[in-house]
Amino acid sequence: MKFENKLIAGVFIKRYKRFFVDVAIKGKIITAHCPNTGSMRGLIKEGNKVWLTKNNSPKRKLKYTLQIIEVNNVKVGVNTHLTNKIFHHALKNKLVKEFPKICEIKTEVKFGSNTRFDFLLKTNHSKIFIEIKNVTLSRESSLAEFPDSITQRGAKHINQLHKAAQKGYKTFIIFIVQREDCNKFKIAKDIDQNYSFLLSESLKKKLKILCYDCKFSPKGIKLNKQMKINLK
């Protein structure tokens, strides 16, 4: 998945009102859009190096968008709008060996009266609903965790995937770790006990989960390899 525009380096100053960050670029302070609704725990420290893109469209109120924060020289992708694009790119290029025989890929597919799942994959024999989760949290060396704050939306998706499974769909939650320094993953039970409980119960039924890390380059972010999941 390629960035739409060239990455621009800056220095993180502060985040406020959830969707705004102040960044210093070559000594000038600018306000950029922060495309992440999570807490971004462990990432938003003043002085951290960041990477942004710039869009000069007259329709944009904020020209800059925060894409990456560096923590201890590790790049962490914080733009949650890119997560689905990273996975979609991998699917289209047949880079996800767990889904080898896909005949059709649909995105943002409606289910029920008020739910949309990120992907619907069709094979000759099955239909597969997939919900994607972006992962940035790492509190221990080599360990990625989700969520970084209480996620009611995540709980809703688990319940809706359970309903889809009852109707004959195969169901997956795929956690995409937008960082390169982790090789294992677990649910942050201490942050959201309800999400952890719902996921554990659903895994006893038909829900499946997968986790992948990512590779960064100056031009974009790619899905890399499957990661070990610790369910204890």
Query: For residue range 179-204, what is the model confidence (pLDDT) as tens digits?
Result: 999 999 999 999 999 999 999 999 99
At 81, the pLDDT band (50, 70, 90 cuts) reads: very high
- What is the pLDDT, as a whole number, of residue 231? 87
For 67-85, give one letter per residue: b (16+ CB within 10 A) or e.
Answer: bbbebeeebbbbbbebbbb
Query: Which strands, in side-by-side order, build the sheet including 115-122?
Result: 104-111, 115-122, 127-135, 170-177, 208-217, 220-226
> What is the rounded (10 degree) CA torsion for 104, 109, 111, 116?
140
- What is the pLDDT, as a whole number, of residue 113? 85
Instruction: Give SS3 for 231.
Output: coil
- Please tell me the distance from the alpha carbon of residue 105 to that of residue 120, in angstroms, as a whole number: 6
- Find the farthest-apart pair of alpha carbons in the chain and give their distance in angstroms, rounded: 58
Summarize the confidence of residues 130-157 as an average pLDDT: 97
Residue 90 in tokens:
């991998």
Query: For residue range 52-65, what is the model confidence (pLDDT) as tens digits?
Result: 999 999 999 999 99
Shortest CA distance to 93 belongs to which of 81, 102, 82? 102
Listed by start position, the domains of the chain span 8-77, 80-230
- What is the pLDDT, as a whole number, of residue 2? 94
For the domain spanning 80-230, the CATH number is 3.40.1350.60
Q: Which CATH class is domain 8-77?
A: mainly beta
Query: For residue range 19-56, what is the model confidence (pLDDT) as tens digits?
Result: 999 999 999 999 999 999 899 999 999 999 999 999 99
- Please tell me the distance from the alpha carbon of residue 17 to that of residue 34, in angstroms, as a whole number: 10
